[in-house]
Each structure stands twice: as structure tokens, then as C-alpha cells.
């Protein structure tokens, strides 16, 4: 069974920028597995410039059987 995301419920990028990585992960946690990759590695917040942020949604993956 996969988790289908209602795209209309996703936060806007403006709701995520300037948050710490932990805050951004928490904000997106309800939507499934979240991977936030930053470069360079010492970055601690989501950049405030939109041209430095990319949001990618992966295809739903089937959940593991118990």
C-alpha cells in the first residue's frame, strides 16, 4: 500500500524557507519520508532565495509488508 499525497495540502515553498532543517523536516513529516539535502554540508537552514531551493516529489513507494 502506498501513501498518496494530496498536492493541494503541501505547504508552499515560502512556508519552508528560512526554517532550520529540523523544522522543515517536521513541517513535511506528515507527507511521508522526507529527504532534505543541503550543500555545503554546514548549511543549517533552508535558503531564503527561491532560486536556491528545489522541491522534488518522488513517486509513491509501496510500504513494506509486516
Q: Taking the domains of the chain in order of start, what are their residue ranges?
A: 7-52
Residues contacting residue 2 through CB under 8 Å, at least 6 positions apart: 60, 61, 62, 63
pLDDT at 66: 64
The residues, ordered by sequence, that sit 6+ positions from 7 with a Cβ below 8 Å of its Cβ are: 57
Tell me: the pLDDT tens digits for 17-46? 999 999 999 998 887 788 899 999 999 999
CA distance 16 to 12: 7
pTM: 0.73
Other C-beta atoms closer than 10 Å to the C-beta of 32 total 15
Residue showing cell 494530496: 6
What is d(CA 42, CA 40) in angstroms, rounded to the nearest whole number? 6
Amino acid at each position: 500500500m502506498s501513501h498518496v499525497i494530496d498536492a493541494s495540502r503541501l505547504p508552499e515553498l515560502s512556508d519552508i524557507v528560512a526554517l532550520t532543517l529540523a523544522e522543515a523536516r517536521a513541517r513535511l513529516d506528515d507527507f511521508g519520508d522526507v529527504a532534505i539535502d543541503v550543500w555545503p554540508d554546514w548549511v543549517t537552514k533552508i535558503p531564503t532565495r527561491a532560486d536556491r531551493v528545489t522541491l522534488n516529489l518522488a513517486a509513491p513507494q509501496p510500504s513494506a509488508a509486516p
